[in-house]
């Protein structure tokens, strides 16, 4: 039925043959066919009615609440901030729930606890449902995306609106971006605009979902709400209240229709019909719950799991269109950590030339530092050397030291790791002073920062870092082209930290498809980790229900602040404001970021990059410089070393300072963009060679800026 005036007023469904309005379940033949490969699915009502796999007694439920109250009081780093910002008191709410916990059973009890935690607006701090609920994903057969219909640079009171001050829902069109694999409909498909959701304007429906989830700022809340409209992991998201949704939409030719879809729930029980790609999601969940003692995970698990479902279950970018001005080529590199990087070469035809740059998507930082740095180094050697774009959109975090350790590869500057601090309580003090091996490995040195603060009654400990300064600067610069970073409102946790350090060290512009990142400025621990590190007999105890089947708890224990020009600024809530705001277009959503890629091509090729190369010869033989350490056979007591440098397109006077084992030895000047330095070194011990290149002021004779740094270690073996 077409409605000429008011799209919110409908008198019937235009597809009586495809949709039955009599009952909750809507019979759309192609939808039911699309569900068959997923094996058995159940309704929302059936999912909520399932019992816990390990039922909790009244005493068990009180024990769960006692532990949540304890950690929020004595370990949770943001409690005062959240109380002030959001006017919430989770401890009082949990104590109230404890008095009536005996009246709640199964799903209802766990949902009440989850809702209390979500009011903190902190994805790092959450309560996870026990099994079978944590093995369930509720979904609708489509995905949504949003874009602004017009540019945001409107003048208000004589000043342009800052991107971070924009209302994310203002003048935003919400469209379908993907459908469940094998599902089709005559008018409902990619590109149709959703107007209302169960009788609510679509923007208000998104706001309601976003507010009850854990987005730290309005942009994160809107983006989370948009994503959770059709995919929700029941282990960590509030389940839908409705059994089905009724949608009013405008198709691609302007006609307005109404359609109804049932929520379905997929359970991880190894159904033979489930596609292997969806099964991989559950394997990822288990992987991220198992960390080694030296790891410091700060990952937002829910977004990663739901994102995996979106990528696996739905066919996105369903429209195909030839973009002759954009060519993306996959770059295959051996030895990269599985599932962490996606590497492409992008060619964009511009008005006068073709822009070429490397595009590296970092899916997450859940990877050991050594493997992550090694893999990123291989990528830098394989991509175009003139320009690089790093994409951390929707990156949910991971290992902080992995994120911070690769920044040195992109800049001649020394990297300052972000400072963290604990809450200064006796419980934190007991953990950092624990005699257990796992605590000693992860927290060595923190007792000197926590105990003095507790002694004098400070609220927080002294600052410390999760990445040692030496580890953040042990390799040096490896890439010399221009570099840019792309973020969005669900770039979170270690993704926030990576973006903050990237911006604070001036590595390149931060381009945001949302005005800010997610605002997750903390280090997260699971409750099991805390209990494992605490001394036996302390207040902390494992939650009832078992490590596999029972509920889970994780929380922010260390907050971080920024460095450099933003020193002392918190990341929590605020996130990282972008330097350049790219407003997502309809073509971006439907055709693979085509407008974003064009903007990136213009940005990275406008940057003042220095095409730089260096090569080294030892006793007149050129050596392989692909690794930080050059290993050579020991043949004599001393060797002659020659380093040739080339800088193309550099304006001004350039000098190169050569240092051996950290001691400056000599300076040489570039002549027509080239320079060469020769020297001899002993072979009795490893030699650390570094050449720093500076643009020199013609007025003062001092360095105006450092433009490159080359560092290698020479090791001689018998």
* Structural tokens at position 624: 């392989």
Residue 564 sits at φ, ψ, to 5 deg, of 65, -135
Q: pLDDT category, 270, cuts 50, 70, 90?
A: very low
- The domain defined by 320-414+469-519+573-607 folds into 2-enoyl-CoA Hydratase; Chain A, domain 1 (3.90.226)
Cα torsion at 289, 295, 299, 301 (round to 10°)?
-10
The whole-number average pLDDT for the span 618-636 is: 87
Record the tokens describing residue 438, joined without a space.
């796992």
Q: What is the dihedral of CA 526, 124, 430, 425, to 10 degrees?
A: -160
Asked if residue 493 lies in contact with residue 398, where contact means CB atoms within 8 angstroms, the answer is yes
Q: Which of 227, 251, 321 is nearest to 591 (CA)?
A: 321
Pick the CATH number of 29-274 from 3.40.640.10, 3.40.50.300, 2.30.42.10, 1.10.1740.10: 2.30.42.10
Could you tell me the CA-to-CA distances from 341 to 344, 358, 702 in Å, in that order? 10, 12, 40
21 confidence band (pLDDT: 50, 70, 90): very low
> What integer pLDDT is reported at residue 296 of this predicted model?
53
CA dist 241 and 200 (Å) reads: 14
Burial grade of 512 (CB within 10 A; 0-12, 13-18, 19 or more): buried
- 3-state SS, one letter per residue, for 186-238: CCCCCCCEEEEECCEEHHHHHHHHHHHCCCCCHHHHHHHHHHHCCEEECCCCC
Name the pTM for this structure: 0.86
Inter-residue contact 90 to 119 (CB < 8 Å): yes
Question: Cα separation of 391 and 529, whole Å?
Answer: 31
Segment among 133-137, 165-169, 237-241, 550-554 with least mean pLDDT: 165-169
pLDDT of amino acid 6: 37
Lowest mean pLDDT among 74-88, 109-123, 299-313, 464-478: 299-313
pLDDT band for 446, please (50, 70, 90 cuts): very high
Residue, of 170 and 263, whose pLDDT is higher: 263
Which stretch of 4-13, 165-174, 672-681, 687-696 has the lowest confidence by average pLDDT? 4-13
DSSP string, 128-140: E--TTGGGEEEE-
- 287 vs 597, higher pLDDT: 597
pLDDT of res. 629: 87
Question: Percentage of the chain surpassing pLDDT 90?
Answer: 51
177 has a pLDDT exceeding 60: yes
Burial category of 624 from C-beta neighbours within 10 Å (exposed 0-12, middle 13-18, buried 19 and up)? exposed
Residues 77 and 86: their CA atoms lie apart, in Å, by: 15
Give the lowest-confidence range in 152-161, 239-248, 448-457.
152-161
> Is the pLDDT assigned to residue 11 strictly greater than 60?
no
Sign of CA dihedral 47, 40, 301, 213: negative
Structure tokens at 403: 């994120």
What does each C-alpha distance from 279 to 274, 276, 312 come to in angstroms? 7, 5, 9
| Alpha helices (runs of H) in 575-614, residue ranges in sequence order | 586-590, 594-606
Q: How far is CA 250 from CA 28, 50, 145, 254, in A?
A: 19, 38, 15, 6
Bridge partners (DSSP) listed for residue 179? 142, 315
Three-state secondary structure call for residue 384: coil
Fold topology of 612-717? Immunoglobulin-like (2.60.40)
Q: Which residue has the tokens 């350490």?
A: 629
- Please give the Cα distance from 311 to 306 (Å, whole number): 9
Q: What is the pLDDT of residue 699?
A: 82
User: What tens digit of pLDDT does each residue of 90-144 get?
Assistant: 999 999 999 999 899 889 999 999 999 999 999 899 999 998 998 888 989 898 9
Reported as half-sphere exposure (CB side, CA atoms, 13 A), residue 443 has a value of 30
- Here the tokens at position 377 are 């180094």
Q: Is 134 exposed, middle or buried (0-12, 13-18, 19+ CB in 10 A)?
A: buried
Q: Say how many residues make up the chain.
A: 718
Report how far residue 136's alpha carbon sits from residue 160's, in angstroms, rounded to the nearest whole number: 45
Residue 191, phi-psi category: left (phi > 0), alpha (psi -120 to 50), beta (remainder)? left
DSSP secondary-structure letter at 285?
H
CB 316 within 8 A of CB 331: no
- Rounded Cα distance, 235 and 114, in Å: 9
* Strand duo 126-128 + 522-526: pairing: unpaired
Rounded to the nearest integer, the mean pLDDT of the chain is 84
In this predicted model, what pLDDT tens digit does every residue of 486-543 receive, in sequence order? 999 999 999 999 999 999 999 999 999 999 999 999 999 999 999 999 987 678 999 9
How far is 353 from 605, CA to CA, in rounded Å? 11
Unique residue bearing structure tokens 């490590």? 547
Residues of the chain with CATH 2.60.40.10: 612-717
DSSP classification of residue 275: -
58-74 and 90-100 helices cross at what angle (nearest 10)? 170
Structure tokens at 491: 């770039």
Residue 579 has a CB neighbour count (10 Å cut-off) of 15
Residue spans in the chain of domains classed CATH 3.90.226.10: 320-414+469-519+573-607
Residues 611-618, mean pLDDT to the nearest whole number: 86
Question: Would you say 554 and 488 are in contact if contact means Cβ atoms under 8 Å apart?
Answer: no
523 with 496: CB under 8 angstroms?
A: no
* 290-349 confidence digits (pLDDT tens): 444 445 555 555 555 656 666 666 665 544 444 668 889 999 999 999 889 999 999 998
Distances (CA, A) of 398 to 16, 363, 401, 551, 692: 49, 10, 9, 22, 32
Are 121 and 215 in contact by the 8 Å Cβ rule? The answer is yes
Over 70: is that where the pLDDT of 256 sits?
Answer: yes
HEC readout, 88-130: CCHHHHHHHHHHHHHHCCHHHHHHHHHHHHHCCCCCCCEEECC
- The secondary structure of 27-79, three-state, reads CCHHHHHHHHHHCCEECHHHHHHCCCCCCCCHHHHHHHHHHHHHHHHHCCCCH
pLDDT at res. 606: 76
Of residues 366, 372, 390, 308, the one with CA closest to residue 336: 372
C-alpha separations of 593 from 20, 206, 312, 525 in Å: 37, 23, 19, 35
CB-based contact 490:227 (threshold 8 Å): yes
Q: Where in the sequence of the chain do the CATH 2.30.42.10 domains occur?
A: 29-274
C-alpha 161/C-alpha 170 separation (Å) is 13
Q: Name, in order, each residue with C-beta under 8 angstroms of 488's C-beta and a sequence gap of 6 or more.
A: 223, 393, 394, 512, 513, 514, 517
Angstrom distance (rounded) from CA 285 to CA 267: 14
The DSSP secondary structure of 350-383, one letter per residue, reads -SSSEEEEEEEEE--B-S-HHHHHHHHHHHHHHS
Q: Please give the DSSP secondary-structure letter assigned to residue 564.
A: G
Q: Is the peptide bond before 515 cis (omega within 30 degrees of 0)?
A: no
Per-residue confidence (pLDDT) for residue 154, from 0 to 100: 44
Q: How many CB atoms lie within 10 A of CB 225?
A: 24
Alpha-carbon distance 70 to 91, whole Å?
9
Please state, in angstroms and rounded to a whole number, the distance separating the CA atoms of residues 205 and 677.
Answer: 66
């Amino acid at each position: 039925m077409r409605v000429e005036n008011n799209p919110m007023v409908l008198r019937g469904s235009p597809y009586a043959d495809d949709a039955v309005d009599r009952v909750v379940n809507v019979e759309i033949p192609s939808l039911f066919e699309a569900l068959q490969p997923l094996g058995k699915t159940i309704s929302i009502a059936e999912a909520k009615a399932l019992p816990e796999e390990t039922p909790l007694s009244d005493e068990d439920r009180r024990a769960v609440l006692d532990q949540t109250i304890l950690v929020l009081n004595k370990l949770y780093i943001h409690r005062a901030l959240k109380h002030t910002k959001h006017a919430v008191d989770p401890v009082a709410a949990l104590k109230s729930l404890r008095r009536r916990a005996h009246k709640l059973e199964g799903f209802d009890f766990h949902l009440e606890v989850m809702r209390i935690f979500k009011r903190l607006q902190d994805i790092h701090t959450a309560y996870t449902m026990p099994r079978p609920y944590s093995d369930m994903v509720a979904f609708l057969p489509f995905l949504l995306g949003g874009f602004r219909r017009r540019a945001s640079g409107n003048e208000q009171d004589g000043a342009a609106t800052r991107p971070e001050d924009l209302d994310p829902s203002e003048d935003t069109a919400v469209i379908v971006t993907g459908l469940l694999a094998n599902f089709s409909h005559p008018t409902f498909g990619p590109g149709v605009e959703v107007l209302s959701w169960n009788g609510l304007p679509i923007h208000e429906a998104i706001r309601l979902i976003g507010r009850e989830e854990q987005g730290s700022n309005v942009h994160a809340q809107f983006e989370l709400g948009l994503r959770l409209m059709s995919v929700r992991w029941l282990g960590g998201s509030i389940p839908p209240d409705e059994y089905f949704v009724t949608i009013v939409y405008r198709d691609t030719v302007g006609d307005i229709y109404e359609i109804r879809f049932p929520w379905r729930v997929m359970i991880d029980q190894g159904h033979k019909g489930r596609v292997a790609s969806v099964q991989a999601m559950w394997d990822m969940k288990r992987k991220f719950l198992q960390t080694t003692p030296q790891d410091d995970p700060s990952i937002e698990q829910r977004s990663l799991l739901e994102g995996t479902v979106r990528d696996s279950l739905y066919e996105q970018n369903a429209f195909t269109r030839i973009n002759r001005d954009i060519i993306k080529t996959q770059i295959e590199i051996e030895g990269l950590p599985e599932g962490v990087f996606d590497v492409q070469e992008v060619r964009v035809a511009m008005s006068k030339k073709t822009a070429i740059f490397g595009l590296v998507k970092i899916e997450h930082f859940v990877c050991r530092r050594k493997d992550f740095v090694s893999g990123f180094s291989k990528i830098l050697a394989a991509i175009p050397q003139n320009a690089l774009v790093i994409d951390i959109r929707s990156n949910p975090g991971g290992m902080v030291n992995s994120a911070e350790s690769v920044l040195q590869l992109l800049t001649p500057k020394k990297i300052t790791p972000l400072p963290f601090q604990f809450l200064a309580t006796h419980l934190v003090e007991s953990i950092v002073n624990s005699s257990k091996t796992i605590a000693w490995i992860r927290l060595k040195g923190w007792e000197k920062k926590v105990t003095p603060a507790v002694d004098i009654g400070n609220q927080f400990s002294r600052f410390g870092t999760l990445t040692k300064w030496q580890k953040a600067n042990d390799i040096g610069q490896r890439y010399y082209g221009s570099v840019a970073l792309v973020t969005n409102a669900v770039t979170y946790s270690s993704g926030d930290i990576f973006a903050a350090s990237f911006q604070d060290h001036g590595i390149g512009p931060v381009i945001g498809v949302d005005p800010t990142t997610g605002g997750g400025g903390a280090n997260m621990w699971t409750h099991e980790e805390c209990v494992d590190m605490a001394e036996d007999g302390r207040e902390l105890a494992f939650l009832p229900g078992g490590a596999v089947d029972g509920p889970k708890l994780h929380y922010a224990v260390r907050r971080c602040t920024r460095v450099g020009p933003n020193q002392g600024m918190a990341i929590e809530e605020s996130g990282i404001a972008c330097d350049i705001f790219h407003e997502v277009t309809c073509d971006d959503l439907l055709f693979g970021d085509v407008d974003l890629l064009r903007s990136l091509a213009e940005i990275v090729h406008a940057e003042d990059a220095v095409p730089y190369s260096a090569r080294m010869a030892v006793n007149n033989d050129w050596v392989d410089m692909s690794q930080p350490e050059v290993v050579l056979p020991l043949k004599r007591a001393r060797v002659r070393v020659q380093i040739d440098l080339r800088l193309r397109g550099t304006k001004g006077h350039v000098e190169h300072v050569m240092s051996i084992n950290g001691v400056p030895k000599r300076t040489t000047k570039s002549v027509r963009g080239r320079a060469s330095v020769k020297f001899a070194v002993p072979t009795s011990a490893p030699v650390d060679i570094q050449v720093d290149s500076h643009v020199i002021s013609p007025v003062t004779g001092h360095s105006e800026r450092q433009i490159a740094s080359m560092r290698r270690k020479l090791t001689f073996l018998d």
